[in-house]
Structure 1
Amino acid sequence: MILGVGVEPGTPAAHLLDAVAALGDVEIDAVATIDRRLDEPAIDAVAAGRRLFAYTTAELDAVDVPNPSAVVRRLTGTGSVAEAAAILAARATGGDGVLVVEKRRGSGVTVALAR
């Protein structure tokens, strides 16, 4: 399973870890996000020991997602980070790129799962 992640700058790692825990007992093989968030400690915390994928705004924006966000588009230039990143990384690892869990918002974070 691929975890797609969007985080607001400076979001505590605990917020992202809580959002991931709320997904239930899921085996996460890799984490995917937007390239400009690679230096966020929250991303490091959730990606520890896992493969990490990072995508540009243009790459993310080319993916059709069920829940695009006008706010995310205004802030990042793409309508989706978590869902689009999960789909792209799932495809990159040989999956079909289907969302298993559509985006869920937490405190400063968004997560989604794809296979």
Structure 2
Amino acid sequence: MPRFRGEAPFKAWLYRIAYNCAMDELRSRKRRAVPAEPVDRASPATDPGERAADRDAVHAALMTLSPENRAAVLLVDWQDLDYADAAKVLGVRPGTLASRLSRARPLLRAALAEGARAHD
């Protein structure tokens, strides 16, 4: 806390610390990090087995993305950070974040579609 200067929202500062720790761990293990489990936005009426399968499919699709693109998607789409705060967490400009998202989202959709075809 003594190093928090108030230049960014506290939430963005805290996410940056967590992101740096995760990237350090990723580099030290030289493997892909497992992302935080996405928020389950399925209807409560959905079958639990279907929700688990959906979660597994999303996880597998996320793992096809580069760590940078995956972090952008998770921060903006799952953690609901705005572009400015997510960019601060990642240490990039908002335009760079937007570029990562514009590349990552179609790749994510394609990976999800491929996974759905594989299970049909």
TM-score with structure 2 length normalisation?
0.29
More strand by share: 1
More helix by share: 2
Larger CA Rg, structure 1 vs 2 = 2
TM-score with structure 1 length normalisation?
0.30
The answer to which structure, 1 or 2, has the higher relative contact order (CA under 8 A, 6+ apart) is 1
